[in-house]
Amino acid sequence: MSRSKAFVLLLPAVLIVGTADSALAQSAASRKIGPLVSRRAANAVGRSRIIVEAVDAESLTSVGPLVEQAGGTTIRTLPLINARVVDLPNPALAALAENPRVKRLSLDRVIVAANERTGATIGATAVRQAFGYDGSGIGVAVIDSGVTSWHDDLTASGGGQRVDRFVDLVTGRKSPYDDFGHGTHVAGIIGGNGFDSSGARSGVAPGASLIVLKALDASGRGHISDVIEALDYVINHRNALNIRVVNLSLATGVHESYNSDPLTLAAKKVVEAGIVVVAAAGNNGRSESGSDLYGGIGAPGNAPWVLTVGASSHMGTVSRADDTMAAFSSRGPSAVDYAAKPDLVAPGVGIESLSDPDSAFYTTKSAYLLDGTMPTSYRPYLSLSGTSMAAPVVAGTVALMLQANPTLTPNAVKAILQYTAEMDPAYDPLTEGAGFLNAQGAVELARFLSPSSSGVYPSSGGWGSQIIWGNHLVQGGRLIADANAWSTNVTWGAATTPVGQTVEWGVICTSQSCDGDSTTWDPWRVTCSDGACNTVTWGAADSRNVVWGSVCGGADCSTPWDISTASDDEDTVVWGTADDDDTVVWGTADDEDTVVWGTADDDDTVVWGTGCGDACEPVVWPTP
């Protein structure tokens, strides 16, 4: 989301208490009520907008009459997750949860909208020049505030439109429009052709097809059900429009596990359908006083199956040497699940893309409007900063990768992006993820791993050559195309496949005859015999845990993930275990920095920081 529109919803949970005779039933029902709904259910007055998930598709038909009997109305149906969005009196919530056909009640939370040198910095320009890839044939769904399809930079050669489909989930209008301006800027980063700037401000994949779904209104706000409905549309039209990528430059607060949040579960359905979901990490990386904050990743970027992007700065130059992290970019771990995020970072500061003269941004961001080189009746470009700008840089890169190798799955795409990313030792993995986006390396490796490839393994100079699988950072080895880790039924971070096989991702070779490269890949003293390459598997013994231990990134620590070296109060320290009985803590000793404490069991509260964003207010996150 763009930095100026950061939003965090602050609502702690309250448990419902019943009478002694109904304690057991109340306990079962309360487990089906999301943490934000539980507070509403305790209110004797008022109404709430709720997502009611049914236990299955057949039971979904019964939800409507149940809602009507309780004095509520149905707003929309969400078949992707067997749910209805309803408006219901708060006193009726607890009774509805007791019905055996109801699986879960969740609040329909509010969600908000979270290039001239960018293409050259990440290597996308070099890719287009070397291979001719421009994203042609790849459909990219942009779920945002709409699009100005008539912009010169979104017009195809011959005068046709680059926006293949426009769906308005806010007001139902048929013709493309963008009354906020955020979606137009995002679309331009992905697929603008740079016409009004003589090509200088082109997007990352100017040949990609854009499918725009308007889920945010004129103020950049919407509900998670709007996004879920958009994701349902993506799945239902993926074959007809060849949708392979979804960009979500928006975010909402994390109040429950990604295993129960309707928004993250909907995103999982999309990924399981073979579509890469790219999401902004959020812009909650700094407090009002300027101190670093950890634990600010927004949803759906908190989910392991989502490709979550933080923001870096290219510092106004093409060279990667002076790139830095954007101070505002949200850091991990994720709330509730304590998962390592972001997955990687991409340019998100001063990104020059398309403006819409009829949008709110054109007025409110007028100081950042830019002229082009062609005569126009308005200033066609706008410079913005935020992880909202970084996410489409990665989405465009994914389109290039899929053009080079259409067989890639979402897991394979994420692995390639992380493996080829460039690590900066000044930052820890909870800040930069696997590193800074290297689009050129990612496309070259994607191309090499295609079934038709007959070349040699691309040069890996500068690559981090590591992957953050779940909370474990695994180094060494080389990716292979047919590893079972890339299957769409394997959740990113899982130790085994659904049938119990150990998850494998690549090989380690120690002989020149393995792959024509004399480089020794043996970080864990794994040996090859007779020129064979051994399979690399995931496991705690073969990796370093990103979340538990010091994550100072090597700047002051001789061993980056060894907690014994973290004696400086300025270093971020995470410790604890996965046990329900041990304390989970992260932050620093400085009162201005983020501090987390509590336990992972259901009885204690996990608390951290100020959750500042744009307005500093205390944040209390309930435990799962």
DSSP E strands in 170-306: the ranges are 209-214, 221-223, 243-248, 250-251, 276-280
Token pair in block for residue 44: 């004797």
Q: Residue 366: which residues within 8 A CB-CB, separation 6 or more?
A: none
Buried b (16+ CB within 10 A) or exposed e, 55-79: beeebbeebbebbeebebeebbbbe
Phi, psi of 126 (to 5 degrees): -65, -35
Three-state secondary structure along 301-315? CCCCCCEEEEEEECC
Amino acid identity, position 32: K
Q: Is 412 exposed, middle or buried (0-12, 13-18, 19+ CB in 10 A)?
A: buried
> Over the Cα atoms of the chain, what is R_g?
24
Please give the span between the terminal C-alpha atoms of the chain, in angstroms, as a whole number.
Answer: 26
Asked if 243 and 217 touch (Cβ cutoff 8 Å), the reply is no
Give the active site residues.
Answer: 144, 182, 388
Return d(Cα 357, Cα 315) in angstroms, integer.
Answer: 28
Return d(Cα 118, Cα 599) in angstroms, integer.
Answer: 42
Token pair in block for residue 608: 């951290």
Return d(Cα 306, Cα 111) in angstroms, integer.
Answer: 17
How far is the CA of 177 from the CAs of 32, 73, 161, 184, 209, in angstroms? 39, 29, 13, 9, 17
How far is the CA of 81 from the CAs of 56, 152, 190, in angstroms? 9, 38, 29
Phi, psi of 400 (to 5 degrees): -65, -45
Return d(Cα 251, Cα 228) in angstroms, integer.
Answer: 13
Asked if 472 and 538 touch (Cβ cutoff 8 Å), the reply is yes
Token pair in block for residue 217: 């209104």
Q: Which helix (H) or strand (E) holds 472?
A: strand 472-475
Tell me which residue has tokens 């073969």. Answer: 542
Q: Which helix (H) or strand (E) holds 397?
A: helix 387-404
Tell me which residue has tokens 């129960």. Answer: 260
Return d(Cα 18, Cα 29) in angstroms, integer.
Answer: 11
Of 436, 352, 443, 357, which Cα lies nearest the Cα of 397? 443
